[in-house]
Amino acid sequence: MSSQTSNPVTSPISLAVMCYLIWGFVPLFYIPIHHFGGGAIEIIAHRSLWALIWAGGLVFMTRQWPEVFAAFKSAHLRTMLAVTSLLIAGNWGVYVWAVTNGHTIETSLGYYLNPLLNMAAGAVLFKERLDNWGKGAIALAAVGVVIQALAIGHVPWIALFLAATFGSYGILRKQLVIPALAGLFVECAYLFLPALIYLIWFEGTGQGHFFVPSQAFWFVLTGPVTVLPLVLFAYVARRLPLSTMGFIQFIGPTSTLVIGLFQGETFTLLRGISFAFIWLGALVFAFGAWRRLKAIKPLEA
């Protein structure tokens, strides 16, 4: 029996669930910063700075510096990780701005779109097979997302941007042969210098909020909140089919949706109908997965 099977706590599926739970509740870490005056750019700059420090500490502890140096020496890895760093920086920026400006529910729409993109990419790019249950689940969730977009009353640019950038990030990271943590460190390294220059200028002009202990705490916390789920994501993305990742990812936007509701954002009947379709799709997918597992067990025996 493999270690992944014998230890369910550290199995790829369990780690994927943990990853998306963290992402789902990330707005709770940015809202306090917004309340004491921190803007989206300041948050992103601190996030890039502290993420590099935390990622560097983990690289040191796990002795992955050879992998980091190999990534910088490889022209292919160096270029691809530069691209993924830009994708994740853009995703961070729009997401932070949205959750601190009353658009949390729309960000949840973006991350409902992303699993559909993952499932479609898995079938088209990696020839991952989807049975009828999986196809039905995608269709139901797609209807739900379209209805929710109509409920907003305008083209959901925030949602579309978040889905496109993070979906592309996941597809590219799945294909790169580099340990999750080493790859993340390289990505953070690309963002570090621009972030540091901005923060020095911002604090120097008296606009920053870091040199107040109670405020600095929240900025420093953006490091582990950023690094942990990205490491988990990069780890499980290379060990699970994109279709499975797409299903598990529904955890994240659902958690974000709940936060948006508690913030008092508008939730109409049409939006409620859209979520009914999305969760019906999730149940169909889960039922299909249960049937496949039931069919496999007699063969293993």
- pLDDT bin (cut points 50, 70, 90) of residue 235 is confident
What pLDDT is attached to residue 36?
86
Q: Is the pLDDT of residue 75 over 80?
A: yes
* Rg of the chain, C-alpha, whole Å: 20
Write the secondary structure of 138-180 as one string of H (helix), E (strand) and C (coil).
HHHHHHHHHHHHHHHCCCCHHHHHHHHHHHHHHHHHHHCCCCH
Report the Cα 51 to chain-centroid distance in Å: 15
What pLDDT is attached to residue 296?
60
- When pLDDT is averaged across residues 266-293 and rounded to a whole number, the result is 79
Name the more confident of 97 and 132.
Answer: 97
**Residue 135 CB coordination number (10 Å):** 15
The pLDDT tens digits for 138-196 are 888 888 888 878 887 777 889 889 988 988 888 888 788 888 888 889 999 999 999 99
Q: Is the pLDDT of residue 8 over 70?
A: no
Which residue shows structure tokens 């943590």? Answer: 181
What pLDDT is attached to residue 297?
56
Report the distance separating Cα 163 and Cα 83, nearest Å: 16
DSSP code, position 239 = T
- Which range is most confident: 107-111, 112-116, 183-187? 183-187
Phi, psi of 214 (to 5 degrees): -65, -30
Q: Which two tokens stand for residue 212?
A: 């107040």
What pLDDT is attached to residue 3?
45
The pLDDT tens digits for 197-225 are 999 999 999 888 888 888 888 999 989 99
Report the distance separating Cα 116 and Cα 138, nearest Å: 6
Global pTM value: 0.79
Asked whether the beta carbons of 100 and 31 are under 8 A apart, the reply is yes
What pLDDT is attached to residue 4?
44
SS3 content of the chain, % helix, strand, coil (to 5): 85, 0, 15
Q: Which two tokens stand for residue 300?
A: 């293993």
List the domain boundaries for the chain. Answer: 24-300
- When pLDDT is averaged across residues 33-60 and rounded to a whole number, the result is 90
- pLDDT bin (cut points 50, 70, 90) of residue 2 is very low
Q: At what angle do helices 27-35 and 40-62 cross, to 10 degrees?
A: 130
Report the distance separating Cα 81 and Cα 40, nearest Å: 23
What pLDDT is attached to residue 162?
92
Write the secondary structure of 210-270 as one string of H (helix), E (strand) and C (coil).
CCCHHHHHHHHHHHHHHHHHHHHHHHHHCCCCHHHHHHHCCHHHHHHHHHHHHCCCCCCHH
What pLDDT is attached to residue 114?
77
Q: Is the pLDDT of residue 113 over 50?
A: yes
Asked whether the beta carbons of 171 and 237 are under 8 A apart, the reply is no
DSSP code, position 39 = -
